[in-house]
Structure 1
Amino acid sequence: MRLTEFWRRMRAHFGDAYADSWARDYVLAPLDGRTVMQALAEGESAKSVWRAVCQVEDVPPRLR
């Protein structure tokens, strides 16, 4: 998954304004206690980060 697709899905699920805030502030257990932004900055793939988001959020099947 490309980073552009990751952010498209994040914005589709959370909305334009909240997606960035959620990615900066919400700590995810599946990412070893990191935020989305931290995980991406540390080289985690967009696909694995998206899977972690799907684990902790009720993401609709069409976005998974």
Structure 2
Amino acid sequence: MRHSDFQKLTDEVFGPAYGRVLVREQVLPKLGNRTAEEAMTAGFEPRDVWHALCDALDVPEPERWGADQHRQAPPSSAR
């Protein structure tokens, strides 16, 4: 997953405004209590950040992929 894919999914799944707030403010315990923004700046893979964000917000697996039913990131190594 690329950073652009992460942003697109954030917009699709959470909405553009709320998604950006989550990326900046939602603390992700699985990533050392960093926000998504901090984790990616620290070098975490976008797919790992995406899975951690969805896990923290209890987003069901089928709802994690936005409008494209065939889009899926490989499993996260941070799980």
Alignment TM class, shorter chain as reference: 0.7 to 0.9
Moved over 6 A (4+): none
Kindly indicate which of the two structures has a greater share of residues assigned to helix.
1
- 8 A contact 1:28–1:34 mirrored in 2: yes
> For residues 14 and 4 of structure 1, what CA distance do their matches in structure 2 show?
15
> For residues 30 and 49 of structure 1, what CA distance do their matches in structure 2 show?
9
Aligned partner of residue 53 in structure 1, secondary structure: helix
> For residues 58 and 26 of structure 2, what CA distance do their matches in structure 1 show?
15
What TM-score do you get using the length of structure 2 for normalisation? 0.72
> For residues 20 and 50 of structure 2, what CA distance do their matches in structure 1 show?
14
The RMSD of aligned alpha carbons is: 1.4
- Structure 2: gaps (5+ residues): 66-71, 73-79
Shift of 1:25: 0.8
Alignment correspondent of 2:53: 53
Q: Percent identity?
A: 36
Alignment correspondent of 1:36: 36
The structure with more radius of gyration: 2
Shift of 1:56: 1.3
> For residues 29 and 58 of structure 1, what CA distance do their matches in structure 2 show?
13
- Structure 1: gaps (5+ residues): none
